[in-house]
């Protein structure tokens, strides 16, 4: 097994790589699309603006290879902006197409005055697809760490987790072997590490691992 962490010139590569290293996962930073075929799965991390992210993906020739990877239902995990670029577009960057895996648009938060934007901090994630392997062994409504100003609507066909911050939004997606989260598992302490562990275990076995000891407790 080999996890390819995509380096397209922006993103939280260090924290994701360090989290994988802590868990003993065979992860490697991928800088060229030609090396994707050496990977069992790819992780697309992201911080920053939607338009900048898509521009960097285009400049590094990752757009079409990633679209082909996902169309072939090969394992994929998007993190934060790596979830948002799966959609058709975003209000953050009008006219800039995303990867177009999902047809909906990413919207800016429209919140009551008491809520600040960006949404920064810990919020509960409610799993709505109980069989999603990412949530295996994670207590219901666990807190994860978020940093974002834009979000996907809740209740989509591919919504796997929902968070409430003044309004409900999609915090996790799953469609086949594609998964993505709006929060940062690599910054979410034990339960975030457990989520990365779950993704790797599912790659190896195609199953969840409720029966084994949680190695993320230390």
Mean of pLDDT values over 12-31: 93
Q: Is position 215 within any domain?
A: no
Task: Specify if 214 maps to a domain.
Answer: no
148 flagged as catalytic: no
Q: In degrees rounded to 5, what are phi and psi of residue 36?
A: -60, -35
Name, in order, each residue with C-beta under 8 angstroms of 126's C-beta and a sequence gap of 6 or more.
140, 141, 161, 162, 163, 164
Do the domain assignments include residue 218?
Answer: no
Position 49 in a domain = yes
Is pLDDT at 216 greater than 80 in this prediction? no
Tally helices (H) and strands (E) across the chain. Answer: 5, 12
Q: Among residues 148, 184, 191, 201, which one is catalytic?
A: 184
- The answer to whether 132 is a known catalytic residue is no
CATH number at residue 131: 3.40.50.880
CA distances from 136 to 109, 189, 196 (A): 29, 16, 11
d(CA 50, CA 151): 11
Active site residue 151: no
Residue 211 forms part of a structural domain: no
Q: Which of these is catalytic: 80, 132, 151, 173?
A: 80
Q: Is residue 161 part of a domain?
A: yes
Domain that holds residue 111: 3-205
Q: Is residue 210 part of a domain?
A: no
Residue-wise pLDDT tens digits, 96-147: 999 999 999 999 999 999 999 999 999 999 999 978 999 999 999 999 999 9
Q: Structurally, how many domains does the chain consist of?
A: 1
- Asked if residues 130 and 162 have their Cβ atoms less than 8 Å apart, the reply is no
- C-alpha to C-alpha distances, 59 to 35, 52, 129, 150, nearest whole angstrom: 16, 10, 35, 24
Chain segment 134-176, per-residue pLDDT in tens: 999 999 999 999 999 999 999 999 999 999 999 999 999 999 9
pTM of the shown model: 0.93
Considering the candidates 39, 186, 191, 197, report the single residue annotated as catalytic: 186
Token digits for 101? 């895996």
Residue 160 lies in a domain: yes
């Amino acid at each position: 097994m080999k996890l390819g962490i995509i380096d397209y010139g922006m993103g939280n590569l260090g924290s994701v790589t360090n989290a994988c290293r802590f868990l003993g996962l065979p992860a490697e930073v991928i800088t060229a699309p030609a090396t994707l075929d050496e990977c069992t799965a790819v992780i697309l991390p992201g911080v920053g603006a939607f338009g900048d992210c898509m521009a960097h993906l285009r400049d590094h020739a990752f757009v079409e290879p990633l679209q082909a990877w996902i169309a072939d239902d090969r394992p994929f995990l998007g993190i934060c902006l790596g979830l948002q670029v799966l959609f058709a577009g975003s209000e953050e960057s009008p006219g800039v197409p995303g990867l177009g895996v999902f047809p909906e648009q990413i919207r800016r938060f429209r919140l009551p005055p008491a809520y600040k934007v960006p949404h920064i901090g810990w919020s509960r994630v409610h799993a709505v697809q109980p069989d999603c392997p990412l949530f295996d062994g994670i207590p219901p409504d666990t807190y994860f760490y978020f940093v974002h100003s834009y979000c996907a609507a809740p209740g989509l066909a591919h919504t796997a987790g929902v968070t409430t911050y003044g309004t409900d939004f999609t915090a996790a997606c799953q469609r086949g072997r594609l998964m993505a989260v709006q929060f940062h598992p690599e910054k979410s302490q034990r339960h975030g590490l457990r989520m990365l562990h779950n993704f790797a275990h599912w790659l190896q076995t195609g199953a969840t691992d409720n029966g084994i000891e949680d190695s993320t407790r230390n």
